[in-house]
Amino acid sequence: MEDNYPKRPRKRILRRKTVAGRCDVCGQEMPLCYKCQKCGYLICQQCMAHGPRRFSCNTVTWVCPNCLNWETL
């Protein structure tokens, strides 16, 4: 007899790089801001959602308007 271990589904932990701080776009203190890992630029979720087109934003990436660094969420 052979033991067949059931395959364990791999759980992917989504690392959200959100921090609390002052949004560099609207200047308001926000509990959830996305932070550019390169230059430290902060964008709150509202600005990300309602911001101008220069924020290339989808479910996985956004472009820092300050240093044009592609950040993954």
CB atoms within 10 A of CB 62: 20
- Out of 34, 42, 47, 62, which residue is the one contacting Zn ion (CB under 5 A)? 47
Q: Terminus-to-terminus CA distance in the chain, angstroms?
A: 47
Q: Does 66 bind Zn ion (CB under 5 A)?
A: yes
Q: Does 26 bind Zn ion (CB under 5 A)?
A: yes
Q: Does 23 bind Zn ion (CB under 5 A)?
A: yes
Please tell me whether residue 48 adopts helix, strand or coil conformation: helix
Q: Which residues of the shown chain bind Zn ion in the complex (CB under 5 A)?
A: 23, 25-26, 36, 38-39, 41, 44, 47, 64, 66-67, 69
